[in-house]
Structure formats: C-alpha cells, structure tokens
Amino acid sequence: MIIVLSACGISMFAQEEWKVPEKARSLKSSFSLDEEKMILKGEKIFGKTCWTCHGEEGKGDGAAAELLDPKPADLSSEMVQQQSDGALFWKITEGRGNMVGYEQMLSDEQRWQLVAFIRSLAQNEEE
C-alpha cells in the first residue's frame, strides 16, 4: 500500500500501487512528429477525454473527481512524472478502476500524444 495526497492536498487515502509490467515500462514511441506537435495533439485529446476527471490542467481536480475513489492522479506530480513513458502509455491503454482503458478508443499514436502532453505538464510546473 502507498499513501497518496489528494490533488488539493487536504486529505490522504490509501491506494494499491498500480503495477506496470516490466515489459511495458520500456515501451517507446515509434511516431516521428516533433515534440511540440505531439504535445499540441495530446492536449486536444486530453481536452476531449481526460479533463472531466483529471481537470483542465491535469491536477486531478476535474468536475467528476469528487465522486471518484481513488481520486484521479495529479499528472504534473513527481509520482506521475517519475514513471517511464512506457508505463504511462500502458496505463492509458489498460485503464484501472474508474479509468477506462483507451486501447479501443484511441490509436497508438494518440495515446503517445497523451504521454507527450502529460510530460509537458511537469515543464509547466517549473515555469
């Protein structure tokens, strides 16, 4: 069990660790769009599919977040950002609990674009 702080930092809850298969951790994107285009495309996808739970800025504070247990992750957090691209891609693909898997709804390329956008959220934190 790990302890995770909620997006607003007020409450804590216990959550089982979301284990990613070793093979998935080493996955790499094979798509060749430049990083800026990947991020912009990922942002558009995020705005259509992810913001209701993760919030407009990915902080885990979307409109539906209050109703969910466990709460959606703050995608800019160190806990998320320290994961490999492959781990993030796998989690987007497979889903867990309240988070649906997007393998059937989004192409491989679109899921890698989401990974690029998630990475950009950490960069925004540093500015």
* Boundaries of every domain in the chain: 2-126
Q: For 44-56, what is the mean pLDDT?
A: 96
Share of the chain above pLDDT 70, in %: 83
Q: Which amino acid is at 113?
A: Q
pLDDT for the residue 5: 35
Task: Return the pLDDT at 3.
Answer: 34
Q: Long-range pairs for 7-15 at CB < 8 Å and ≥24 separation? A: 7/55, 7/59, 7/60, 7/61, 7/65, 7/71, 7/72, 7/74, 8/61, 13/69, 13/70, 13/71, 15/70
Residue 110, token pair as written in the block: 């679109």
Tokens for 76? 């800019």
Give the span between the Cα atoms of 121 and 50, in whole angstroms.
Answer: 14
Terminal C-alpha separation, the chain:
33
What residues does 4 pair with on adjacent strands? 13
Lowest mean pLDDT among 29-33, 45-49, 53-57, 114-118: 29-33
Residue 50 is predicted with a pLDDT of 95
Q: What is the pLDDT of residues 89-121, one digit of tens each?
A: 999 999 998 899 999 999 999 999 999 999 999
The answer as to CATH 1.10.760.10 being correct for domain 2-126 is yes
Q: How far is Cα 82 from Cα 108, in angstroms, rounded to an integer?
A: 22
Q: Say what the pLDDT of residue 2 is.
A: 36
When pLDDT is averaged across residues 35-55 and rounded to a whole number, the result is: 95
* Model confidence, pTM: 0.80
Three-state secondary structure call for residue 99 = strand
Q: Which of 18-22, 73-77, 78-82 has the lowest mean pLDDT?
A: 18-22
